[in-house]
């Protein structure tokens, strides 16, 4: 163990119950992206009581806490705070029952179906351990609580709000995410660890008519159906089998009644890629196919394309990842492992890209090990509720403690050099 995780071990009987209550409260009261007002208030108050220099409303609802502790490296620790428009179905006693109207005015359930409540709790706990054990480390810590990760806006909003000018430049940026893997395990990887993600809305235009007289229409439902099928050939027929990519159509909306042919139809697409050339090809192919299908249907005009969100590839710095990985191995032994890249996407890397500094992102398992091992044995791992599922719920123990340990372990690789 390093000095910070030793300090955590000594205080865990008092600290962990407090953090567990914070986690349950955050879980029960999720907020949608860029609306994390209550969560940000809890974070700001907690950091202020600890003694951090706190800046609120950074990038709308973001919070930055600064802790200076002598000469040494500056380490940024990041957590995201937003929930998802998902109706929770976990059955937990602290499950969310929150319902709000989204940006389109539609009433939706809200849940922490991606674990950002856990991420926020981890960073609050790490902040407390750091401030209570200054004798074990030197340098400056930036505790960054980011809004809007789920819409790909939060990190850029914070940077656009002057983070480069307002706060010390980090020497390294560290972040972590709870995932489906045995709780207690930590997965790291240098290079690409998360895919680029692009979400696009495509509106197809037709000509509406009565359902009994299709000859007087230009049917956008047929147009959308043909487009949806043809889009699936991009990955299967235009991308080499050695190049990983995913194209998903998550929404196809058209019409209101069975006997009315509508005027238009809307597709919402999501693309994940690990290579910029592949990414560029797929995005171009989407436009080509959508336009061609509209032309084939004699549509009155070309389709309308709107970018919903866009996430860059998360590419961990090799040297910094090696440094963090060595610390993980010393702390966790065989529980620390080299993971495969995930097709999920993050805007975490925006901080490192804009600041021009190395960053490291890793995973913390949140699944009951017995459940995971049984599913693996039965070849049913895909049946475990994953991130964004309404049934996604990390087990509290040991996930809460492991996430604290991994964050402190990684930070100590920079902050505790020469300290004991």
Q: Which residues, in sequence order, are bridge partners of residue 43?
A: none
Q: Which of 31, 80, 88, 149 is catalytic?
A: 149
Q: Which residues, in sequence order, are bridge partners of residue 358?
A: none
Query: Percent of the chain scored above 90 by pLDDT?
Result: 98
CATH superfamily of 3-193+313-415: Zn peptidases (3.40.630.10)
Residues of the chain with CATH 3.30.70.360: 196-310
Q: Would you state the structure tokens that stand for residue 86, as one six-digit string? A: 């998902």
53 counts as catalytic: no
149 counts as catalytic: yes
**Per-residue model confidence as pLDDT tens digits over 99-143:** 999 988 999 999 999 999 999 999 999 999 999 999 999 999 999
Q: Would you state the structure tokens that stand for residue 110, as one six-digit string? A: 């809200």
Mean pLDDT for the stretch of residues 276-303? 98
**Binding-site residue set for Mn(2+):** 114, 116, 150, 177
Three-state SS at 110: coil
CA-wise closest residue to 331 among 13, 16, 2, 11: 2
CA-wise closest residue to 119 among 176, 77, 64: 176
CATH ID of 196-310, from 3.40.50.800, 3.30.70.360, 3.30.110.60, 3.30.590.10: 3.30.70.360
Mean pLDDT for the stretch of residues 193-206? 98
Q: Would you state the structure tokens that stand for residue 277, as one six-digit string? A: 């050339």
**Predicted local distance difference test score (pLDDT) of residue 417:** 74
CA dist 128 and 19 (Å) reads 10
Apex 152 CA angle, 151 and 157, nearest 5? 110
Mean pLDDT for the stretch of residues 403-407? 98
**Per-residue model confidence as pLDDT tens digits over 18-77:** 999 999 999 999 999 999 999 999 999 999 999 999 999 999 999 999 999 999 999 999
Quick check: 208 pLDDT over 50? yes
Residues 6+ away with beta carbon under 8 Å from 296? 226
**Predicted local distance difference test score (pLDDT) of residue 305:** 98
Confidence of residue 79 (pLDDT cuts 50, 70, 90): very high
Q: Would you state the structure tokens that stand for residue 200, as one six-digit string? A: 């696009």
Q: Which of 80, 82, 219, 317 is catalytic?
A: 82
Mean pLDDT for the stretch of residues 186-209? 98
CA dist 281 and 286 (Å) reads 9
Q: How far is CA 221 from CA 208, 217, 257, in A?
A: 10, 11, 12
Helix H or strand E segment including 114? none
Mean pLDDT of the chain: 97
Q: Return the number of other C-beta atoms located less than 10 Å from residue 266's C-beta.
A: 17
Q: Return the number of other C-beta atoms located less than 10 Å from residue 118's C-beta.
A: 25
Q: Is 389 exposed, middle or buried (0-12, 13-18, 19+ CB in 10 A)?
A: middle
Q: Give all strands (DSSP E) within 94-171, no chain letters.
A: 99-101, 107-109, 139-146
CA torsion sign for 240, 242, 245, 249 is: positive
Residues of the chain with CATH 3.40.630.10: 3-193+313-415
Confidence of residue 409 (pLDDT cuts 50, 70, 90): very high
Quick check: 420 pLDDT over 80? no
CA dist 135 and 112 (Å) reads 36
**Predicted local distance difference test score (pLDDT) of residue 103:** 86
**Per-residue model confidence as pLDDT tens digits over 303-342:** 999 999 999 999 999 999 999 999 999 999 999 999 999 9
**Per-residue model confidence as pLDDT tens digits over 217-242:** 999 999 999 999 999 999 999 999 99
CA dist 22 and 321 (Å) reads 30
CA dist 374 and 367 (Å) reads 11
Residue 375: half-sphere exposure toward Cβ, Cα within 13 Å? 15
**Predicted local distance difference test score (pLDDT) of residue 418:** 55
């Amino acid at each position: 163990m390093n000095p910070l995780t030793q300090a955590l071990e000594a205080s865990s009987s008092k600290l962990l119950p407090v953090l567990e209550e914070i986690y349950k409260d955050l879980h029960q009261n999720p907020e949608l992206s860029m609306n994390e007002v209550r969560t940000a208030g809890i974070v700001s108050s907690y950091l202020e009581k600890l003694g951090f220099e706190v800046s609120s409303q950074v990038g709308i609802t973001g919070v930055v806490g600064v802790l200076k502790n002598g000469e040494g490296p500056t380490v940024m620790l990041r957590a995201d705070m937003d929930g998802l428009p998902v109706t929770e179905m976990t059955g937990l006693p602290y499950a969310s029952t929150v319902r709000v109207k989204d940006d389109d005015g539609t009433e939706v359930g809200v849940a922490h179906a991606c674990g950002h409540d856990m991420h926020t709790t981890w960073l609050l706990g790490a902040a407390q351990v750091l401030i209570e054990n200054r004798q074990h480390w030197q340098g400056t810590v930036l505790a960054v609580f980011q809004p809007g990760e789920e819409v790909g806006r939060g990190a850029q909003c914070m940077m656009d709000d002057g983070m480069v000018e307002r706060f010390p430049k980090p020497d390294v940026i560290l972040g972590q995410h709870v995932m489906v893997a045995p709780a207690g395990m930590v997965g790291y990887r240098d290079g690409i660890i998360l895919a680029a993600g692009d979400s696009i809305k495509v509106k197809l235009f037709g000509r509406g008519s009565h359902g009994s007289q299709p000859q007087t229409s230009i049917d956008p439902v047929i147009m959308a159906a043909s487009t949806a099928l043809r889009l699936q050939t991009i990955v299967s027929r235009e991308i080499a089998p050695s190049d990983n990519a995913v194209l998903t159509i998550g929404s196809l909306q058209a019409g209101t009644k069975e006997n009315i042919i509508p005027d238009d139809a809307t597709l919402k697409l999501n693309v994940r890629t690990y290579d910029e050339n592949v990414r560029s090809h797929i995005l171009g192919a989407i436009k080509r196919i959508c336009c061609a299908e509209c032309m084939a249907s004699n549509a009155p005009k070309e389709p309308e394309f709107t970018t919903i969100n866009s996430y860059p590839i998360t590419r961990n710095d090799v040297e910094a990842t090696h440094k963090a990985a060595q610390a993980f191995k010393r702390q966790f032994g065989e529980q620390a492992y080299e993971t495969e890249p995930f097709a999920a996407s993050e805007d975490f890397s925006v901080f490192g890209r804009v600041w021009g500094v190395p960053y490291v992102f890793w995973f913390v398992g949140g699944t009951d090990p017995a459940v995971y091992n049984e599913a693996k044995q039965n070849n049913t791992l895909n049946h475990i509720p994953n991130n964004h599922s309404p049934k996604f719920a990390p087990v509290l123990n040991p996930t809460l403690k492991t996430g604290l340990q991994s964050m402190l372990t990684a930070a100590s690789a920079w902050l505790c050099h020469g300290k004991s």
